[in-house]
Amino acid sequence: MAANRANIGWYLDNQIGGEDDRITGRVYEREVALSNSELKDLSATPKELVPAPGVGRFIEFVSAVLFLDYGSNILVESGANDNLIIEYDDGSGAAVCTTIESTGFIDQAVDQIMLALATVLAGSTTASSVVNKNLALLTDQDAFTGNASNDTVMKVKVTYRIHDFN
């Protein structure tokens, strides 16, 4: 009985539109901070941005704003194409946005802001590959280096919805 009440409460809070009935679900925003070591280790250890929502629930990525807080010296791309990407399932699933180009963003000597917008999921994406999966930020190839002072950090604000298919 308690589980049913919890499901009903979640459904009421998250799926019913506003007073004008034009909203199909609540929009959430979550801010995640990345330390310098987490930034440099994104190729090996993706950073979770939004936790998995639970059985039968799906995260709809709306957008993300990445704020690079420049420290004392620049970060460097290890390879030619070390870009950022946001994907489902700790970075092993489908991408939710286009590749976030690191050149001109990560490697700058001033604070930077980047906006990542949602992309269409590939037609071959199965429900099991995205339902109850988290969203994570990672690099698509190698790790970042540089910033010997280890004081450049990043904040990511993710905007998303949760859909319940239970």
SS3 154: strand
137 phi and psi, to 5 degrees?
A: -100, 135
The domains of the chain, with CATH numbers, are 26-164 (2.60.120)
Instruction: Print the SS3 string covering 26-46.
Output: CEEEEEEEECHHHHHCCCCCC
Q: What is the full per-residue pLDDT of the chain (166 aa) written as tens digits?
A: 555 665 665 555 555 555 554 445 688 999 999 999 999 999 899 999 999 999 999 999 999 999 999 999 999 987 767 899 999 999 888 899 989 999 999 999 999 999 999 988 766 678 888 999 999 999 988 889 999 999 999 999 999 999 888 8
